[in-house]
Each structure stands twice: as structure tokens, then as C-alpha cells.
Amino acid sequence: MSKYKVMFLTEAREHLQKMSAQLVTVEADPSNQNGIDALFRQAHSIKGMAASMGFMQTAGLAHHLEDTLDLFRQKGHITPEAIDSLLAGVDLLEALLEDIDADREERKVEEFYHAKELRHEVAEVADAGTVSPTVVEEKFRLQLSLHDKVVSPAARFLVILRHLSTLGKVLTSDPTQEQILRGGVVRHLDLTLQTSLDIGAIKACLKNYSEISNSDVALPETKPAAQGAGSAGATVRVGTDLLDRFISLTGELITSRYMLQSAAGAKDWGAMKDGLGRLARLVKDLHHQVLQVRMMPIDTVTGRLPRLVRDLSRKSNKDIRLELEGTGIELDRSILEELTDPLVHMVRNAIDHGIEQKGTITVRAWRQRDQVMLQVADNGAGMNPETLRRRAFEKGLISQAQLEAMRDYDALQLICLPGFSTAPQVTETSGRGVGMDVVKSAVEKLGGVLHIDAVQGRGTRFTLKLPLSVAIIKVLLLHVDGKQVALPITRVLQTIEVDRHQIQISGKQRVFSHHEELLPLISLRKILNLPIPKAAEFVAVVVTEVLGRKIGLVVDGFSGQREVFVQKVPSPVDRLHGLGGGTILGDGRIVFILDIQGLLERRR
């Protein structure tokens, strides 16, 4: 895929996402002139980009939407019926982009131009009296060839030229009309036509001439998308000010290198120490700037939610309002990509399960130290822990003893069990028992934590606690059987030493009391099939949360926190459950980063 094609797809999708959200906004305020103007500009941008790349079906459809929006722009408002048709046009443009991305031929879109609903709305606007639609003209390059057996080709080209001049204005012609009149055999004609017609209409006109053996119609600036052997990676836009800072940092790093070389040559250990301190500050600054390159605002994934809420609300005959807060908060691009589906599912859940007829869904983001909190809340019916417990028992997901001992908080986490659903029937949005388990797995795979809070009759809140980045993270270094492993700090609630006399036995499970709560103790040695040592006076425990429940992970000891660069482990090691990556410490040792949930799932 060529880099130009990647850039086109990235920018076009951004425009479509903005158009979708803007149409929902304009639907609530049909006379929002600024919103209508913004929609017109976005359609115009897509048209220009698609035409310059040679994607004519996409360009033609965007041109059609642009003309339609121009009419409404002059009228000063958009009707609800037109909003539906314009949203259908946006959906069709997204489908065309999928075709382009998959290197398929663009699907035909002529039927959309004749859609009864939109054509009726446009006709009403155009017939309003004072409104006269703006005629938007494009320049097209036409290359025509005649069959070899055509008699008097020069005369035929003169007829074709005169006909084309009635469709618009012939700007250039090679050969010119004068050169054709002077005589000679002319088999090929290259001309530029300025017209308000689209490319399909021009080709239809040319089909009336059976003498033409070959015709090519395109914009003069057309750049055909080059097909490369490889596939380009995703692109990220970087501001010039950030690039300037990178250049400045690079210069300072070069200076520090020479300072350290000079200090080492002179064996000036004082200067060496100062140089290393300066180098550490520069690397920390560089780390911060590199993270900024990967950071993107949350509205890149929340931008599609207004359209989703609108469509599902209408389909379910509910009156639901969406509120977005803190969408300027930034997260690592790779985290945002993984959050798209979980976020959509939580919003769909709120519409289908949470709000009965009328209510509000709030999606809010905020920073909390070096983490981001993302919350999806509704003011609907909430959840009844007793109903959840009973349903889980009926499905055989929990035992009678668990049913009787389970706290309300733990009962709320049951919705994250695979196959669990309280929906009485299967609908388009729920009832299949697939969803919240995928959401929780996706969040924990990113090193985050999912909290669920609900009050019956007052609503439900899903709160995601996420790291800023998955590339460079803070970890807690642990000792186990003489080896060192790491755990993402976002998964660590607390580290404590438990007196072995405080450990109790409940059935076959060792537990201990922590803040008036009995937590199960699970040995990391046992999970990894390592030998169990004799019981010590004090046990090192990491309090963490897995599958919605707090546990105590028993380890041999702690080695402190460290900021590390996470790298993927090579095959076949990457197939091991419970391995979240690896890193190399400053002394050259390789340390594996644990995925506790994966380890426990394998153990189960």
C-alpha cells in the first residue's frame, strides 16, 4: 500500500467520523449554520482527496453529498428526513473506504443518487424560491481514440468537440480545433473539459459515439494509487514543534556523549558523574517526548458514540441523551485502538439493559496521577445483585455455597463471566452471553482494571483504570525461586508482609484478612510449578485484582519499582499463557512481565 493511500484513508476516516458526529448534532439543532457549513467542508475535503487519488466512486458520492449540503446551507436548516439519508451516505462512503483499503474495486453507488428520500428533500429546497444552488464545476481530462476504420476521423472529432462544448467549456484541446480543420489524419484527441457534470454523466455522453474505440475520463491531477508489495503501518501526525524538540534533544545528547568521552579519557570521575546525571535527565525528557508522539485524544474513539446512541435509541424506541466529558484526555494510540470495541459494548449495554425508556449515558475521562480513568455511566435501572447471583447459579456458573456467601460487589462482577446474560431474549445488541467478559479481558490485557458499581434504580457505572502507555511502563520487580519477574504497577493494589499466624484455612483455600475482607492466597511458585519452600515467619504478598476479585499473590520478595520498555517475546515463547512481554534491565538481565489473569486461567 502506498504511503499516499494510507494518508488518504486516515484523513478520509477522520472526516467521516466528524461528519457522523456533526450530523447527530445538527439533528438536534437543524438551524445550526456552523454545523451545516462544517459538514459541507468535510464532504468537500473527502471529494478532493478521493479525486486526486483516482477513487472516482468515492469522489462522486462525496461530490453528491457536498452539492446536497450546499443547498441546505443556503436554506439555513436541514430536515430530519435528510439527516437519515445523509447518514446513509456517510455509511456508504465508509464502505467505499473499506473497498479501497482491501484493494477491491469500488462498489457502484449510482443507486444512492436516486434515493427517493434525499431527492425529495433536495427538490423541496431547490424549489423554495429564493434558493439557487451553487454550481460546482470540475476540470476533467478526456483522452479519446477512434476506431481505425472510421471514415473522416477529423470530421468526427469536430462533431464530438462541439457536443462536449455544450456540456461545459473546452479549456484545452490537443490537437486544437484549428489544427483539425487544417486537415490530416487524427486518431487521438486529448482535451480538458470544465463542467458541472460528474464523471459518470460524461462517460454516458461519450457512449453515444460508436466511433470511439477507447475513452478515459479523469481529473488532470489524478495520481493513481501505487500498489506496493508491502503493507504500510498506521500513521500518526506529529506537530512541527514536537519535531523541533526532538532535534534539540538530539543535539544535547550528542553534546553529552562528547562530555562523557572526554571525562572517560581524562579519568575525571567527577565530570563523569555529572555527565551521567545530565544524560539521565535528557533520556527522561526524550522518553516523555516520544510518548507524546503516540498520544491521541480519547475523542478519536468517543467520536463515533453520538451516532451509535442515536441509531440504537431510535431502534429501541427510547429517548437517550449522550454526554461526553474529558474527551481531550490523551492515551497511547495502541490503547485507544484496543478500547474501541469495549467502549461500544458498554454503551450498547447501557441502552439495552440500563435505561428503560428515557435517560442519560455519560462517558467521562480524567487523569489520576500516571493513569487515565474512563467511565461509562447511566442513570437507568441499575442491577440487582440477588438477580445476578440467582441467574449465575441457574446457569451452573457458581455453587450453592458461593451463592450464599457472595457479597453484592462480587455479584456485580458476575456479568463478566463468559456466557453470562440476564437478557430474557436475544436481541441485536445483547442476550448471547458474549460481551462483558471480552471487555474485561481487553482491559486487563492492556494492564488496566475494570470496576463495576451499580445501585438498583439509580444506574450503573463501569470504570476503566488504564495506563497511559503500553510501551514504557512502571513495573514491580518480584523474586520467585531465585528468579526475577515483573508485574505491571497498574495491577498492584498493595504490597504487604503477612504474618503466617494470620493465615487461615477455608476449605482447601488459604485466606487472610485484609481491611476486614478475607482474600484468598495464591502462590506464584505453585502456579509456575516451582518447589514450595518451608513456611517462613512472614509471607510477601502482592494484593491484586483478577476477574473482579481481590487476591493475595504470594512471592518470595520484592526488588522495587522500575520503568521499563516492554518488548514482545519471540515465537514460540509468545504462545505461553500468562506472559505479557519481556524487558531487559540495565545489567543485561532479561525479565519476563507476568499476565496474572492468563496464569490463573491456565491454572483453572
Sign of the CA dihedral with 27 first, then 28, 30, and 32 last: negative
Quick: pLDDT tens for 49-92: 888 777 888 888 888 888 888 888 888 888 888 888 888 889 89
Is the pLDDT at 45 greater than 50? The verdict is: yes
> Is 224 a domain residue?
no
Same structural domain, 91 and 145: no
Residue 149 has pLDDT above 70, yes or no: yes
Region of 132 please: left (phi>0), alpha (psi -120 to 50) or beta.
beta
Does the structure show a pLDDT above 80 at 148?
A: no
Domain boundary among 467, 494, 512: 467
pLDDT of residue 229: 34
Separation between Cα atoms, residue 577 and residue 224, nearest integer Å: 46
Residues 197 and 266 in one domain: no
C-alpha–C-alpha distance, residues 245 and 249, integer Å:
6
Predicted confidence (pLDDT) per residue in 527-573, tens digit: 888 888 877 788 899 998 876 678 899 999 998 888 888 877 777 87
The CATH number of the domain holding residue 569 is 2.40.50.180
Residue-wise pLDDT for 264-292, tens only, equals: 888 888 888 888 888 888 887 887 777 77
How much of the chain exceeds pLDDT 90, in percent? 8
Q: What is the DSSP letter of 11?
A: H
Please give the pLDDT value at position 223.
37
If asked whether residues 256 and 393 sit together in one domain, one would say no
DSSP 354: I
> Which alpha helices (DSSP H) does 369-414 contain, by range?
385-394, 400-405, 408-412
Cα 287–chain centre separation: 24
Whether the model clears a pTM of 0.85, i.e. scores above it, the answer is no
Give dist(CA 448, CA 12) in Å, integer: 31
Q: Is residue 236 part of a domain?
A: no
CB neighbours of residue 572 within 10 Å = 7
Kindly give, in sequence order, each residue whose CB lies less than 8 Å from that of residue 102, ignoring residues fewer than 6 positions away: none
pLDDT of residue 121: 55
Q: Count of domains in the chain?
A: 5
pLDDT class for 426, splitting at 50, 70, 90?
A: very low
Give the domain-ending residue among 445, 467, 489.
467
Question: In Å, how far are 350, 378, 380, 432, 604 from 462, measured between CA atoms?
Answer: 10, 9, 13, 20, 26
* Residue 118 counted as domain residue: yes
Does residue 302 carry a pLDDT above 80?
yes
Residue 83: domain span: 3-126
Residue labelled with grid coordinates 508482609 = 497
Q: State mean pLDDT over 140-162.
A: 81
For strand 188-195 and strand 169-174, is the pairing parallel, antiparallel, or unpaired? antiparallel
Residues 192-211: tens digit of each pLDDT = 888 777 676 777 778 777 78
Contact 389, 414 (CB under 8 A): yes
Burial class (CB in 10 A: 0-12, 13-18, 19+), 85: buried
Please say which residue of 432, 467, 502 terminates a domain. 467
- Does residue 233 form part of some domain? no
CATH number at residue 181: 3.30.70.1110
Name the more confident of 103 and 138.
Answer: 103
